[in-house]
Amino acid sequence: MPNRFERFTVAILLGSRWLAAPLYFGLIGTVIIVLVEFFREWAHLVAGFADITGKDLTLAILKLIDLVLIGNLILILVAAGAEIISARAVESDHGGRPDWMGSAAFGSIKLKIIASLAAIAAVDLLESFFNIESTNKTDLLWEIATMLAFGAVGVLLAWMDRLASEPH
């Protein structure tokens, strides 16, 4: 039976997870900034739609997709943080939380984050290819390397999760 000091120590350690809550509120604020930027880009696209070329339309759409992917990445992190912070805060009912919360494994969250980063890198790379004449070739090589690195990390993480889930 744990003594009073052990119970107090465990309570402090488990309660410390709430110190991260302001960080997640900051990320929610960041999503609002991304949302404002999305609609600013969208309004710019709509305002200039009559004079826009096919290439410029594609680039504008890629910019919107990039912002959506960034917003989704932030929301994945916020949802994972909410899962950590609210763990066992509500024992029996969902307390307004989505059904998937509580069942999302850390490995799947890592894969979602890496997949989001790879998608963002791919969109940025595609934008660079559309502007190939003005793109610095060294920067382009770094963008390719970054995208490939995210892809490789994703494959390795998935493989490690698979190995960890196999019976030993």
What is the distance between the alpha carbons of residues 74 and 87, in angstroms, rounded to a whole number?
A: 20
**C-alpha span between 150 and 143 (Å, rounded):** 11
The rounded Cα 112 to chain-centroid distance in angstroms is 7
Q: What is the pLDDT of residue 100?
A: 47
122-136: pLDDT as tens digits? 999 999 998 899 989
Cα–Cα distance between 78 and 37 in angstroms, integer?
A: 19
Q: What pLDDT sits at residue 136?
A: 92
pLDDT at site 92 = 43
Nearest to 117 by CA among 135, 85, 98, 143: 143
What's the pLDDT at 155?
92
Q: What is the pLDDT of residue 152?
A: 94
- Given a cut of 70, the residues of the chain with pLDDT beneath it are 1, 87-106, 168
| CA dist., res. 57 & res. 45, Å (int) | 8
**Where do the domains of the chain lie?**
23-165
Rounded distance, CA 104 to CA 99, Å?
10
Question: Which amino acid is located at 163 in the chain?
Answer: L
